[in-house]
Amino acid sequence: MVDWAGQMSSRASSPQGDSHTEISDRRPAPFVLSRSMRATLLPYRVCAAIPSLPNSGPCATLGFTHVLGGQKTNILLLLLFPLIFGSAIELTPGVSFGCSLLVLIPMAERLSFVTEQLALHTNAVLSGLLNATFGNVTELIVCWLALREGLIRVVQLSLLGSVLSNLLLVLGASFLFGGLRHKKQKFKQIVGQVNSALLMLGVIALILPTILVHSGKDVDVSNDVSSSRMCSAVLLMNYLLYLYFQLHTHLSAFADEAPDNGEVPLLSARVAGVWLAAITVAVALVSNVLVDAITGAANDYHISSVFICAVLIPIAGNAAEHGAAVIFAYRDQMDIALGIALGSATQVALFVLPVCVLLGWFEGQPMTLYFQPYECLTLLLTIIIVTFVLTAASGRSNWLVGVILISTYFIICVGFFDHQSENLELHGVRLPDESVSAVITTSSTATAPPV
């Protein structure tokens, strides 16, 4: 990222450079959303891009300069070519999975960037709704494509892994690297309190179906599906109320201590909208390759498909925002770092997951909130330890807390690595098959009505 403080000092002696610097950093605010609030609604923020393309002419007019220029992660977009010509060069499932996983890293980051640019042309309410909708659109697209193929366990594990990685890996890395540079760091307690309560609500909605299935009572699958849909509606309602709480009734509590002078859009509304649509389509195409190659990649790499879905896919899909949180924490901007980690986890638990349940209803797939006991237990313990860290610390953090959170994530990942695919369960029925797709296919065939 660009060191704007250094550029300000270097251009202070140049009268001609003052206007450019003022445009870059001290800009008139088009709306009242602060940086930490936008980081909560849209996990990853790009302060500025170092243009490597011309600053004038067609490239600048169409947004190529800001969208494709400057970001080092964009070099991974070159892996699109093997995916495009994959059928001709006969790529193995493992290679296809690896290429698509790496390509999603810059795509997710650029999708967040153009969403932010489009939000700068709206007011506070529309900006918050836009950022909340497209903040985790990459995960939503991957889950939607998996649902269409009946890979319900892929959806559940990838969303669970996204919540765990944000709460343990991202938050822990932020505390660690921020604490190594600053002995003590402060953050607003209301951010941790509200998000912890919402996440506890989400884990309650996941644990109760699991307890019901394993309570020794006969549970009808159709009742489990209908109850999951009702619980999903409740979770969505709470997430919308959370947005209203953050953007309206308690706006001052989430605002930055230092006034945010706003940002001037680098892209026009029309250009940002076109790029948003184009990148979304590209993410859908790459995600389709990713989902199709999961089972083959598990066989090629000799690892469990559970580990791929719960660990590898969430880390790659959120790599850009993970790096952003660490950078903000290193700069002692802990409110923004917490907004990225906790805000993204809350989005997935109370927005993306319920939406996937309702999408499964639309697609005719029995997507439920039933998770395996190990998965529910890891999520519950994660939220408990994160809540303890955020509340007991009285708004202060240090590097040792970060080490504890990262160590917890490593222990959970070891469990997922040893968790073999043949032990997967669907609606409380153990199905002895080796692949996720075979589990879902067997279940769908068994429950299909006679023709």
**Among the listed residues 376, 345, 339, 55, the one whose alpha carbon sits nearest the alpha carbon of residue 208:** 376
**Residue of higher predicted confidence among 238 and 151:** 238
Residue 249 has a CB neighbour count (10 Å cut-off) of 10
The alpha carbon of 75 is separated from its chain's Cα centroid by a whole number of angstroms, namely 21
CA separation for the pair 386, 49 (Å, rounded): 33
Give residue 408's pLDDT band: very low, low, confident or very high (50, 70, 90).
very high
What residue type is 381 in one-letter code? L
| 397 contacts 175 by C-beta, under 8 angstroms | yes
**Residue of higher predicted confidence among 402 and 111:** 402
In the predicted model, what is the mean pLDDT of residues 83-97? 78
Residue with tokens 């439920």: 368
Residue 436 predicted with pLDDT over 50: no
**Residue of higher predicted confidence among 10 and 307:** 307
**Among the listed residues 360, 324, 356, 330, the one whose alpha carbon sits nearest the alpha carbon of residue 343:** 324
**Residue of higher predicted confidence among 89 and 118:** 118
Q: How far is CA 433 from CA 8, 43, 313, 436, in A?
A: 61, 37, 22, 8
Mean pLDDT score of the chain:
74
Q: What is the pLDDT of residue 132?
A: 57
CA separation for the pair 305, 421 (Å, rounded): 6
Q: What is the β-pairing status of strands 425-426 and 396-397?
A: unpaired
**Among the listed residues 451, 445, 423, 427, the one whose alpha carbon sits nearest the alpha carbon of residue 436:** 423
> Three-class SS of residue 420?
coil
Q: What is the pLDDT of residue 10?
A: 45
In the predicted model, what is the mean pLDDT of residues 401-412? 93
| Of the candidate ranges 54-63, 68-77, 93-102, 144-153, the one whose mean pLDDT is the lowest | 54-63
Residue 251 predicted with pLDDT over 80: no
Residue 53 predicted with pLDDT over 50: no
Q: What is the pLDDT of residue 256?
A: 56
Q: What is the β-pairing status of strands 429-430 and 425-426?
A: antiparallel
364 contacts: CB under 8 Å, gap ≥ 6: none
Give residue 234's pLDDT band: very low, low, confident or very high (50, 70, 90).
very high
Residue 21 predicted with pLDDT over 80: no
Phi and psi dihedrals of 214, rounded to 5?
A: -95, 15
Q: What is the pLDDT of residue 450?
A: 46
Q: What is the pLDDT of residue 19?
A: 41
